[in-house]
Amino acid sequence: LLIVVNRVLAYDRNVCPFSECFDLYFRPHRFSDIRKCIQRLQEESMAGDEQKLDNMASQKSGSIVLDRFLRYLVFVFAHVGGAGAPVPQNLTGQNVTAASRISFKKKEMNLSVRLKWLISGEMKTIKQKHMGINSEPPVFIICNNDRISDSREIQEEHKGYPSEAEADQALRDGNKLAQMEEAPLFPGESIKAIVKDVMYICPFVGAVSGTLTVTDFKMYFKNVERDPHFVLDVPLGVISRVEKIGAQSHGDNSCGIEIMCKDMRNLRLAYKQEEQSKLGIFENLNKHAFPLSNGQTLFAFNYKEKFPVNGWKVYDPVSEYKRQGLPNESWKISKVNSNYELCDTYPAIIVVPTSVKDDDLSKVAAFRAKGRIPVLSWIHPESQATITRCSQPLVGPNDKRCKEDEKYLQTIMDANAQAHKLIIFDARQNKVASTNKAKGGGYESESAYPNAELVFLEIHNIHVMRESLRKLKEIAYPAIDEARWLSNVDGTHWLEYIRMLLAGAVRIADKIESGKTSVVVHCSDGWDRTSQLTSLAMLMLDSYYRTVKGFEALIEKEWISFGHRFALRVGHGNDNHADADRSPIFLQFIDCVWQMTRQFPSAFEFNELFLITILDHLYSCLFGTFLCNCEQQRLKEDVYTKTISLWSYINSQLDEFSNPFFVNYENHVLYPVTSLSHLELWVNYYVRWNPRMRPQVPFCFSFQKKHIFLPKETWWCRIMWRYTADEVL
């Protein structure tokens, strides 16, 4: 897509009437749709079957703009260099102008003229079908060097084709139609309201007037008067709160809406009250942004996209444990929780010590918060040192003991013959753990567990993290105080909490790798800080998790299957924005991963776009990957059969998420530096909505001078790099 479209448009962009809708569809969430068409086009082009290309040009997708856009691509494939050769080979020559010319009845016709002829033919069809204008059936040209064929045999030069003036008019009409185009829709998405003359109060460019479209998935605002056109595309799942505000300053009899988002931005809209009473903008936004609070389902259950890859098959627990060398003489793959009776927030398949009986597991579960017993997450391939995870013991103020639990931890230690001690990493602060003890929780005492060493990592709870992110949002959007930026960031303590997570994970990884000692990790309930620490430590220890599919499996295993409460922490479809259960736990984990990619740029197969895409769809509710709180709930809601996995989308276009500098060093352990001097704020994510924080040098593509500017902070420019490196060299 990048090669075919961008190079042609760069050569003569003004010719194409799709320049404005090109930006509309040239987005990450459209890549999958268009990539399929491109793949089919290239296959047919290489096969040299002009009839198939002609048939593709007549297919309808349901969108006027997209139909014309795809027919334009068919035209490019069929005309540039002939239908018998794939376009990428024909558009990479030294002289693109010469390469883009063909012979037509012994007359040189450049790309501009050919495009105009094609577009004029399309415009006749569009006018006839959608505007009630009678016209002749269009002629789709298939050229191959000195030969031309179409639905009619052309006997005379230019017969049946428009004049130059008619072609120019067709271009102008094409732009008008493109400007009138409604919001692009996903398969299964439907429009709920369209309101004109809505004012978006942009904090950077001022008030912008346009048309607001509300669907069951997104809020889409577009202004076609600006050049380039102003588009605001916000998935409704990103919205945290919608409030009415006064908007007297923007005209009489007007009102406004303020939209607080989970992705670091706030939006303000103003509109006339009579329009509000007719169309109910506020009500529509509230209804579809919070479907679960209004008795509806999340859009992920209506999304009908088809992908060539089934992302639900990325993670298979038995296969993953076998990859680690399990089962062995000390550990077994157990289905004791197959009905979720032992622990309703654990997966059906777990790994426990071989010698422990199921009855003893039940007694251990009764002594652990939420029944979350110690289970294996990862085992070292050589030393057999293990990472096990669980929740806090229910010791209580009376120091209650459980012989089965004590024996269970002793068995975990004995499974590793190279060490005679078990390290228990409690993620909480010492004082908080003591407070929990008074409430019935607690921690392992060294008197009850004589061969265990207890270490508190002093990581704050979910409420502190939520407040830290709130402060970060205040300083990052919309206005940035340049004079106090560093001190303001420091005042949020966000990087300090990132440092504490990384430092804790490094200690765990070091005990496993260098100390050859097994560790147990827990916090209070074992689904927040525990998931952060175990997954980060495993990422440091195991190079497999640093690949794209390995990282997906890591998230599926340590976060999704082991019951991180995504629905509660994110608030999917719920209008209770003040819910105390909300917290950016998973966001912190991804931030820590990004910090590691900065320190080890060639150690990870995925790029920054991969991480940002995961976070965007954490909120979007487009995919089923992060829905619900545990495996049992997902099965009950038929998530695996009625929704699509995020990994289906990502793994269908791996090139866009791949790190070109990746080197796969197997069995290489990473120890990131956790000093604050080596950590930085992830500006490309937290401050990405502020145009003043983006690179000031625009992307430039020149065939004649052969130079390219690639600002490293712009993800789509980095994607372009893999296609244009040959040009630079």
Strand partners, 207: 201
Average pLDDT of the residues in 686-713: 53
Q: Are residues 383 and 446 in the same domain?
A: yes
Q: Are residues 285 and 335 in the same domain?
A: no
In this structure, what token pair is assigned to residue 683? Answer: 């500006």
State the DSSP string of 579-637. -TT---HHHHHHHHHHHHHHHSTTS-SB-HHHHHHHHHHHHH-SSSTT-SSSHHHHHHT
Instruction: List alpha helices for 163-301, DSSP H.
Output: 164-180, 273-279, 281-289
What is the tens place of the pLDDT at every residue in 655-685?
999 999 999 888 899 999 999 999 999 999 9
Residue 302 lies in a domain: no
State the pLDDT at residue 585.
Answer: 98
Residue 728 — very low, low, confident or very high, per pLDDT cuts 50/70/90?
Answer: very low
* Residues annotated as catalytic (active site), given as ranges: 523
528 annotated to bind ligand: yes
What is the tens place of the pLDDT at every residue in 496-512?
999 999 999 999 999 99
Residue 305 lies in a domain: no
Specify the amino acid at residue 96.
V
Whether the pLDDT of residue 316 is over 70: the answer is yes
Indicate whether this model's pTM tops 0.85. no
159 annotated to bind ligand: no
Q: What does the angle CA 93 – CA 98 – CA 100 come to, to the nearest 5 degrees?
A: 85
In this structure, what token pair is assigned to residue 633? Answer: 């709930």
* Domain boundary, last residue among 153, 180, 207: 180
Residue 89 lies in a domain: yes
Give the list of residues 6+ apart from residue 105 with CB closer than 8 angstroms, or none.
148, 157
636 annotated to bind ligand: no
Q: Are residues 34 and 76 in the same domain?
A: yes
726 annotated to bind ligand: no
Q: Are residues 448 and 325 in the same domain?
A: yes
Could you tell me what percent of the chain has a pLDDT over 70?
A: 68
State the DSSP string of 96-164. HHHHT-EEETTEEE-HHHHHHHHHHHHHHHHHHHHS----PPP---EEETTEEE-SS---STTTTS--H
State the DSSP string of 521-553. EE-SSSSSHHHHHHHHHHHHH-GGGGSHHHHHH
Residue 294 lies in a domain: no
Q: Which residue has the higher pLDDT, 716 or 407?
A: 407
437 annotated to bind ligand: yes
State the pLDDT at residue 51.
Answer: 56
* Domain boundary, last residue among 180, 200, 231: 180
Q: Are residues 159 and 263 in the same domain?
A: no
Whether the pLDDT of residue 139 is over 70: the answer is no
Q: Are residues 176 and 195 in the same domain?
A: no
Whether the pLDDT of residue 696 is over 90: the answer is no
447 annotated to bind ligand: no
Most confident of 1-10, 56-65, 181-190: 181-190
Q: Are residues 176 and 243 in the same domain?
A: no
Q: Are residues 441 and 374 in the same domain?
A: yes
What is the tens place of the pLDDT at every residue in 270-311?
987 765 555 578 889 999 999 999 999 999 999 999 999 999
In whole numbers, what is the pLDDT of the chain averaged over residues?
79
Residue 602 — very low, low, confident or very high, per pLDDT cuts 50/70/90?
Answer: very high
Query: Whose CA is closest to 128, among 162, 177, 166?
Result: 177
What is the tens place of the pLDDT at every residue in 20-36?
444 444 444 444 555 56
* Lowest-pLDDT range of 22-31, 216-225, 319-328: 22-31
Give the list of residues 6+ apart from residue 227 with CB closer than 8 angstroms, or none.
none
Cα 141 to Cα 157: distance, rounded to the nearest angstrom? 13
462 annotated to bind ligand: yes
Look up the CATH number of the domain holding residue 202. Answer: 2.30.29.30
Residue 716 — very low, low, confident or very high, per pLDDT cuts 50/70/90?
Answer: very low
In this structure, what token pair is assigned to residue 422? Answer: 């078990």
* Domain boundary, last residue among 180, 213, 242: 180
Most confident of 63-67, 146-150, 281-285: 281-285
Other beta carbons within 10 Å of 53: 21
Q: Are residues 111 and 218 in the same domain?
A: no
Cα 718 to Cα 706: distance, rounded to the nearest angstrom? 17
Number of domains the chain is built from: 4
User: Three-class SS of residue 477?
Assistant: coil
* Lowest-pLDDT range of 33-42, 203-212, 630-639: 33-42
Residue 301 lies in a domain: no
Residue 303 lies in a domain: no
User: Three-class SS of residue 263?
Assistant: coil
Average pLDDT of the residues in 499-527: 98
User: Three-class SS of residue 212?
Assistant: strand
Interior/surface letters 97-134, b for 16+ CB within 10 angstroms, e for the rest: eebbbbebeeeeeebbbbbbbbbbbbbbbbbeeeeeee
Most confident of 67-71, 168-172, 725-729: 67-71
Cα 534 to Cα 559: distance, rounded to the nearest angstrom? 10
Could you tell me what percent of the chain has a pLDDT over 90?
A: 62
Give the list of residues 6+ apart from residue 611 with CB closer than 8 angstroms, or none.
590, 593, 594, 597, 685
Query: Whose CA is closest to 218, among 183, 244, 243, 245?
Result: 183
Average pLDDT of the residues in 491-500: 98
Give the list of residues 6+ apart from residue 253 with CB closer than 8 angstroms, or none.
272, 273, 274
Residue 54 lies in a domain: yes
Whether the pLDDT of residue 135 is over 70: the answer is no
Residue 228 — very low, low, confident or very high, per pLDDT cuts 50/70/90?
Answer: confident
Distances 206 to 22, 200, 268 between C-alpha atoms, Å: 25, 8, 11
> What Rg, from alpha-carbon coordinates, does the chain have?
29
592 annotated to bind ligand: no
Average pLDDT of the residues in 471-497: 95
Whether the pLDDT of residue 265 is over 60: the answer is yes
Whether the pLDDT of residue 52 is over 60: the answer is no
- Check: CB of residue 232 under 8 Å from CB of residue 218: no
Q: Are residues 504 and 454 in the same domain?
A: yes
Q: Are residues 272 and 327 in the same domain?
A: no
State the pLDDT at residue 110.
Answer: 42
Q: Which residue has the higher pLDDT, 42 or 512?
A: 512
What is the tens place of the pLDDT at every residue in 545-590?
999 999 999 999 999 999 999 999 999 999 999 999 999 999 999 9
Other beta carbons within 10 Å of 314: 22
Residue 700 — very low, low, confident or very high, per pLDDT cuts 50/70/90?
Answer: very low
Write out the H or E segment, with its range, that includes residue 231: strand 230-235
* Structural domain range at position 221: 191-289
Q: Are residues 135 and 278 in the same domain?
A: no
State the DSSP string of 654-709. GGGGB-TT----TT-------SGGG----HHHHTTT-GGGS-SSPPEE-TTT--EE
Query: Whose CA is closest to 625, among 643, 645, 611?
Result: 645
Long-range pairs of 58-61 with CB within 8 A, sequence gap ≥ 24: 58/140
What is the tens place of the pLDDT at every residue in 363-398?
999 999 999 999 999 999 999 999 999 999 999 999
525 annotated to bind ligand: yes
438 annotated to bind ligand: yes
Cα 464 to Cα 453: distance, rounded to the nearest angstrom? 27
524 annotated to bind ligand: yes
